[in-house]
Amino acid sequence: MDYQPKVWQDYTNDYHELAPDVCLQPYIQSYWFSYVTSSSMPDRIIPDLCSDLIVKLNPELDVLQINVCGPSTHFFYSNSDQVTIYFGIRYYLGGMYPFFNQSFKGWKNQFFELGMVEKEMMVALRDKLSGKHSLSELVKSADQYFLERLNRLSAKTVSVPIRMFIKNQPNLLSYAENTTRSLLSERSLQRLFREETGLSPYEVFDVLRFQHVYQELIKQPDISHLDLVEKYGFFDQAHYTRKLKKMTGLTPQAIRRHVGILQDKK
């Protein structure tokens, strides 16, 4: 997958990403770890088109819970009232679909226990990850589990129309331009996206456009917002501001200040 999402980074952020086995990389964007305490500030989670399996661990690395976080279309906060380590498996858009034998309809903006949809997977994954003494052991065990599961499946990949939709978007100004390039009718495209990703094509377009803007701001905090309005086909600056506030909870000016401070701290 050419598209590489960016997560929100705070000033003091105990968050790390590690690459999965090369055979899993068409599906899994990264493994990630986050350490939080009751005094930690809530984490701001921004849309990135990914879905996650989130393993909640205590400080001794015992598995407490395994949850599914579906793709989001707006920002939200995550926090904990106790010392907790989170081990996440972040899947690309559609990347989780081959590992589950069901539709992803209705998973948008949802957070629920894995056992509600895949009880067998929850038991097997809990068993595979239990008893580990380090985060590197967890990653190795996760690689083994998902490689074994992938080999037992039909090795489905993200459907071509979805891959092309993502690939084309940076070069096109509008949602209409992108859908007309598709191999499918818009109605068929709608069904395919909801089945494999839980999102509509327009929701994917909306988040993908935001991610491109956000990544430009990370690289160049002083870039003109008006230039980004024109480059990414927003109706006007008010439309641009509304979209960024929906995705981050912040105004474009506040995002600029935030990423500028992060750059100064490097």
Residue 60 CB coordination number (10 Å) = 7
Domain boundary at 109, 135, 152, which?
152
Domain that holds residue 206: 160-265
Q: Distance between CA atoms of 81 and 74, rounded to whole angstroms?
A: 23
123 and 172 housed in the same domain: no
44 SS3 class? strand
What is the total residue count of the chain? 266
33 and 121 housed in the same domain: yes
0.85 surpassed by pTM: yes
131 and 249 housed in the same domain: no
How many domains in the chain?
Answer: 2
Q: What is the CATH number of the domain that holds 190?
A: 1.10.10.60
Residue 265 CB coordination number (10 Å) = 8
144 and 192 housed in the same domain: no
pLDDT single digits (tens) 223-245: 999 999 999 989 999 999 999 99
128 and 168 housed in the same domain: no
Q: What is the mean pLDDT of residues 75-90?
A: 90
145 and 22 housed in the same domain: yes
8 inside domain: no
Q: Distance between CA atoms of 243 and 8, rounded to whole angstroms?
A: 16
95 and 144 housed in the same domain: yes
92 SS3 class? coil
- How far is the CA of 224 from the CAs of 53, 230, 253, in angstroms? 37, 10, 11
Q: 219: Cβ–Cβ under 8 A, 6 or more apart, which residues?
A: none
- Asked whether residue 26 carries a pLDDT value surpassing 80, the answer given is yes
22 and 130 housed in the same domain: yes
4 inside domain: no
42 and 89 housed in the same domain: yes
Specify the pLDDT at position 165. 84
| Percent of the chain surpassing pLDDT 70 | 94
34 and 140 housed in the same domain: yes
